[in-house]
Amino acid sequence: MEPEFWQQRWRQGEIGFHLEQPNPRLVTHWPALALPAAARVLVPLCGKSRDLAWLAERGHEVIGVELSPIAVTDFFREQFDPSHPLPGGSRCGNFDSYRAGNLEILCGDCFDLERSLLGPLDAVYDRAALVALPDPLRARYAKLLTELLPSGAQMLLVTFEYPQAEMSGPPFSVGPGAVQNLYGADFAIDLLASEDILDAEPRFRQRGLQTLHEHVFHLRRR
């Protein structure tokens, strides 16, 4: 899946994955990580998610990564009073960096991330990144996160699982077995919650799904 696919989705406003409030799975399960307030949290493929602000409000140093400049501009415009000037961008490696307080968004391709750009990370929050990628890119993405995270770092991961033949992604189906295959060699993995959410997501029923399970995982880097 090429970057232009996502750029076009943002240009056309096809962002059904965006929530107008913090994700309830984040609100419920983030405390399980027991992170200190000043923890540095990476949020890949963040879009203009309200989750960024929710994490920043808890004192975390939040680093979002997003391909679309439209999403980045919309995030800051929607988070601040209209009279508040938007953060200016500065070049940071292959990214344009936009910072406001303890929240930074790097605009660019997540596969260009390097430890030297991010500094020491304590956690990753992945609600819509892994499931946005087709199979070959998922393996590449998981390898990248494994390389970026030091021993002891944690991840809250939210995925969807459904019969892949019933619907073409994104989002793609990523169940517990797939998570184990991607991360099991380097992370301890706990399944925190699993629920069939199809009744609450009629747009997916309209796309042909008969079941849609949402899984929440807690990963710790060995």
| Statement to judge: residues 100 and 149 lie in one domain | no
Identify the domain boundary among 121, 151, 169.
121
**Total tally of structural domains belonging to the chain:** 2
Contact 40, 80 (CB under 8 A): no
* DSSP reduced 3-state for 120: coil
| Statement to judge: residues 91 and 141 lie in one domain | no
Identify the domain boundary among 62, 96, 121.
121
Residue 89 is given by DSSP the state E
| Statement to judge: residues 94 and 42 lie in one domain | yes
208: domain range?
A: 128-222
Residue 31: φ, ψ to 5°: -55, -20
Question: What confidence tens digit (pLDDT) does each residue in 140-177 have?
Answer: 999 999 999 999 999 999 999 999 999 998 999 999 99
Q: Six-digit token pair at 200?
A: 């609450």
pLDDT at residue 1 tops 60: no
Q: Which residues pair with 188 in a beta bridge?
A: 220
| Statement to judge: residues 139 and 165 lie in one domain | yes
| Statement to judge: residues 114 and 147 lie in one domain | no
Whole-prediction pTM: 0.93
Q: Is residue 2 part of a domain?
A: yes
Least Cα distance to 212 among 203, 140, 221 occurs for: 203
Least Cα distance to 128 among 44, 7, 2, 34 occurs for: 44
Question: What confidence tens digit (pLDDT) does each residue in 53-74 have?
Answer: 999 999 999 999 999 999 998 8
Q: Six-digit token pair at 116?
A: 């030297």
